[in-house]
Amino acid sequence: MELYGIIGDPVEHSLSPPMHEAAYRELGLDASYVRFHVEEGDVEEAVEGAKALGVDGFNVTVPHKQAVASLPRLELDDTAEAISAVNTVDLGEMKAYNTDAAGVSRSLERHDVDVAGATAVVVGAGGAARAMAYELSRLDAEVHVANRTEEKADRLADEFDVSGHGLGALDDLVPEADLLLNATTVGMEEDRSPVDADLLHPELTVFDAVYTPLETRLLRDAEAAGADTIDGAWMLVYQGVEAFEIWTDLEAPVEDMDDALRRRLR
């Protein structure tokens, strides 16, 4: 039996197991996916231990994405190296990936969003924002990153050849944007939005990385404004789909993984 999992601290909340287990059932794979609680400072030992115990691969969640990216024995793919964060490891090949970026582009592709030449505004400058800014820039969008701490947005902007701003710039950026992406935790289990509803418009596609709840205040405001919306479950699904395909070399059963995730979220 093949064994996969996820490491993090905490990790009990992870929604990856039901997604991957659904894929194994659908394709008849003899595989299992489990949660591994790993504390900060124990990451390298955990990776070596997993390798020794025959674990085939694992995902990485907070706060270990940067720590895993710095491990000398792992070869980083181009995306993980550019973003300086890892969320997927193939222990057979000792290779590490960042599939969050693919989670962004595959979600947009799923919803028929044409990224090339689009003007995109990313709110936030943390890990999710790094994946979004990198991927959107790679796909030839004009990317603006707006963050509460403008200096952090500027640092991210310098890395990925995009522009950085404070949140005050949203008043000018959002009305002219084609894409608006929330990479903050604003709206998670609360009825708040990171963007004023009056700035939203019908020509906009709004992508919220928050998935608890699935319908955030930002997405409700966007729908009311006539904008297209993409909920955060899609990014979570597609980063998992990408990991599954890296590990198995099989086409992932996307609909089954999505259904399993949404059943758990609801």
Active site residues per annotation: 65
Q: What are phi and psi of 212, to 5 degrees?
A: -130, 95
Q: What are phi and psi of 61, to 5 degrees?
A: -120, 180
The tokens describing 208, both together, are 């919220």
Q: What's the gap between Cα 230 and its chain centre?
A: 13
Distance CA 81, CA 90 (A): 15
The answer to whether the beta carbons of residues 74 and 86 sit under 8 Å apart is yes
Bond into 17 cis (ω within 30): no
**DSSP character at residue 148:** S
What's at 160, amino acid-wise?
F
Handedness of CA 239, 144, 153, 83 (dihedral sign): positive
